Structure 1
Amino acid sequence: MNPAGPGRTLAALAVIAVAALAAFWTATSGFRVLTSESARRLSVSRQPLALPSARLADGRELTAAIRDDGRVVLVDFIYTQCESLCTALGTDYQQLQREIQRRGLGDRVRLLSLSFDPDRDDAATLARHQARLRADPALWQASTVPDVAQRARLLAAFGIVVVPDGRGDFVHNAAIHVVDAQGRLRGIHDLGRWPSALADALEAN
């Protein structure tokens, strides 16, 4: 029996453990990232993502319109027939609108809701939807991207997954996205985290 054997084994295990810990540290950006979505959010906060070209229903190119306007935009993705996540987003945006108005931030930040259901969400339908939410057109607009390929690229850039449910509606995820005045995605915030989204927008301004 070699008495040094167990010691060598423990030392080898310790080396393996340290190497695994180091690899995990690197892969998770210092343990701050444990999912691919978290990694994506951290990435865009560090390095804003240029958005693909997408033309809105009124003919404007999205990022050009943002740059021309000069305000930071908080963007969400909805469809007007939705009664779950989109309702929660609507509530968040109502609170954002009130806070922007209360603090006189309308010259720095605005809101944009983009529908991924252009077949049903035409201009008139979106206008009725905005009226129900008491959206101030100067602060909160709604539109859609009619072109299928452009819409798919835009959803992918924002990390929005939309799957038809077979009953005419959609299963999808939801978040509040901060797009800076250069038309770059620089922040992603969960439902209910509208105060942090607004703070992030103000930092980007």
Structure 2
Amino acid sequence: MSTGKAVRMFWKKGKAGAGVAAALAIAAVLAGAGLAWGLGMPQEARHASHAESPAVRHPEVSGLRVVSREVVTPGAIAPDFRLVDRSGALVGLKDLGGKVVLLSFLYTNCPEACPLITGHYLTLQHRFHEAVEGGELALVLVTTDPEHDTPEHLQEYTLQRGGRWSFLTGDQVSLQGVWTAYGIHREVQERTREVVVYHSYKTYLIDGDGLIRYRYEGVWQPQDVARDMEALMGPA
């Protein structure tokens, strides 16, 4: 029996109110629209679009689908690096010694989860304003798209959003070493009108001794990370 016929039968027999009947009718329209979209795409293309997605082989690149929080006990030494910040200066983890560091990987043209993480960084920046300004907390971002994310572009991006973070870039070789050290899978795919950089959504919370204390995968919530920050620094 079709959904449309079922709606008419429920309506005639009075076994559902107007709201339920309307909801079923809307569902039928939406289902039909979805089916029409699927039928309009060649079967081979539908299968290829799924099979070619890096999320099939590396589900952590999907961001919103994989969310985990790991407490690293007793703490693992955070791999050091030296990259270029938005002012053109070299910055490394050792330069941030004594600070709690929140480290994430993203790129400015990202159309998916990266803007959410950037927004969460701003939320934490406001909440821990005194710690950021006082040099107790460092917010660090590392690009996964060095071809586009030049220091000049990162400066513009940061100023537009009022960020108080260090956004780092560098040459491909230097960045590849950092991505590998922190388990960041990266894959570039050219689509019809754009280049998409699929990458792992991993974030690390590093204590003042340079030890990784918490590891997050996926798009975390700022309140969850804030609690872990307070465990390392005290209440905001």
Which one of the candidate residues 156, 163, 168 is aligned to 1:143? 168
- The residue identity in structure 1 corresponding to 2:131 is L
TM-score by length of 1: 0.67
- The residue type paired with residue 189 of structure 2 is D
How many angstroms does 1:122 deviate by?
Answer: 0.9
2:180 corresponds to: 156
For the pair shown, the structure with the greater C-alpha radius of gyration is 2
Q: What is the 5 A alignment of 1:56-135?
A: 56-57=83-84, 58=88, 60=90, 62-67=92-97, 70-101=98-129, 104-106=130-132, 107=134, 108-135=136-163
Shift in alpha-carbon separation, 1:41–1:98, aligned structure 2, 3 A? closer
Q: Secondary structure at the match of 1:197?
A: helix
SS at match of 1:110: strand
The 3 A distance-change label for structure 1 pair 182 and 146 is: farther
Aligned pair count reads 159
**Counterpart residue type for residue 186 of structure 1:** R
Aligned sequence identity (%): 22
Give secondary structure in 1 for the equivalent of 2:128. helix
Q: Equivalents in 1 of 2:209, 2:113: separation in Å?
A: 28
Shift of 1:73: 0.9
Q: Say whether 1:49 aligns with 2:81.
A: no
Which residue, 219, 223, 226 being the options, matches 1:198? 226
Q: 1:41–1:91: structure 2 CA closer, same or farther, 3 Å change rule?
A: closer
CA shift, 1:41, in A, is 6.0
- Please state which structure has a larger fraction of its residues in strand: 2
Amino acid in the other structure paired with 2:92: L
Report the CA distance shift for 1:63/1:89 in structure 2 as closer, same or farther (over 3 A): same
Structure-2 separation of matches of 1:157 and 1:53: 9
TM-score by length of 2: 0.59
Structure-2 separation of matches of 1:180 and 1:142 = 19
Q: Which runs of 5+ in 1 are unaligned?
A: 1-36
Superimposed CA distance per residue, residues 92-143 of structure 1 (whole angstroms, 9 cap, x where no aligned partner):
1111111112xx322322211111222211111001111222113xxx2211
Q: Deviations over 1:31-58 (max 9, x none)?
A: xxxxxx99x964x611322233422114
Distance change in 2, residues 1:202/1:147 (3 Å): farther
**2:36 equivalent in structure 1:** none
After the TM superposition, list the runs of 4 or more consecutive aligned residues in structure 1 that deviate by more than 6 angstroms: none
Q: What SS does structure 2 have at the residue aligned with 1:154?
A: helix
5+ residue gaps, structure 2, are 1-59, 61-65
Give per-residue Cα distances to partners, 1:61-120, cap 9 Å, x unaligned.
5221121xx21011111111112111111111111111112xx32232221111122221
